[in-house]
Chain A
Amino acid sequence: MSELQDLYQEVILDHNKKPRNFGRLEGNGPREGGRVLHADGHNPLCGDRLTLYVDTDGETIRDIRFEGSGCAISKASASLMTEAVKGKPLAESEKLYRGFHELLTGDPSVRGKAGAELGKLAVFEGVREFPVRVKCATLAWHTLQAALAGGEEPATTE
């Protein structure tokens, strides 16, 4: 059971059950000087779908929300990602994205301090042992990249 416990850590189960920043970002709209970007993410392998809404002034992620359906890993990852990047400069969110990717797919011996800088996001380290689930954990991050790039194409893990 131990690898399973590493995968389904309490924090992940909690965010799966009670996702943070869940829902659309509209109504109050973007604050002055900014705009709300959004992008769809799709993991065709398991049918995970999410839509991400990002309120940014081009420098900082002022607000971020998501909605959609997916497995525990993809939902918790989206939830924890929104917590991690909310209020952060875009450059820092980019750094977290690279660190997160490294945590899941990089060579552990040369990974360096990525884990230490990721804070709560490090709970996803257990996903390394489940290579087919890596896409679930990275879906939200790919979707964030797509939203910030302003592309029309939905992000996909394929």
Chain B
Amino acid sequence: MSPLERRVRALTALFPASFRARWEEELVLTTLETRTAGQSWPHPRDALDLLVAAIRAHAKTPADQPFRVVLVQGIALGATLLASLRVGVLLLRLGLFLYWLPTNSAAGVPFADLALPAALLVLELAAYVGLAVALLQRRRVLAWAGAIALGGIGLLGALRYGGPVDLRWALGMAIPGAVPFLVAAAMIPARQTDRALAVQPALVGLALVALAAATWRLAALFVTATWHLSPGTVDRISAAGAALLLVACIAAGFADPRWLIALGFAVVSWNAREFIQTGDPLAFIGTAVVVTVAWVQWRVLRRSRAS
């Protein structure tokens, strides 16, 4: 494969899987035929054209697809959103840990008390890197490994808790973190993991955490004139990130019901802990409502397209 073809294929990989299955070989061939002698990079004009066409192919109205496919894509979006939000929070937590490290060391905090939380943070971040690799290379085993690792971290966290711990409570701690990995493991063999479908919500989630952190920092400047990095800060920032996510998904959901399903799925995972720990099915009412609204919207889109 020539360097030009490799670069053209990197661009055509941005198209949805269904589009690639039908058109990719021809698209690559035709793009290569427009080359001039000695050309080793795609012409910027062609690169831009491919990028725009890929975005348009993804934005193709979900009304063209059966609701089952829309639902699956929405779940993939939701799982990626959750994962990216979590990665954002982990990065904040790691930053906070490093920020306090000199102070804690000087204050004589035992090494074990510092090393354990840091090791858990790094392990969890590594699991998410594994998830990204699993999605890009379609390696199912990596996704399973991540799910087990994160479930293990959750269980470990629950067992470290000093109070009485029963199995339900520990499972409630273990399962939500593993949810994006379980979704990935289920979807990789079905080849429904479009790269852009994974990248888009991941960027949205990370951007929201960054926005929430920046806003928080700005607000702290005005309110207290000092920037207090207390342990509660990360929780508050992640809550703010989740709130922004809610608003963003609802706004995007007006055009595309997949974002509503993503939101519903994120809420399910959020509430899974509560459901496992208390067995209260009310935790899922919000999700049921959101998914029903998404279905109604899909029907409306389909009808308006048919007419």
Our verdict on whether A and B bind, yes or no, reads no
Query: Which residues of A are interface residues toward B (Cβ below 8 A)?
Result: none
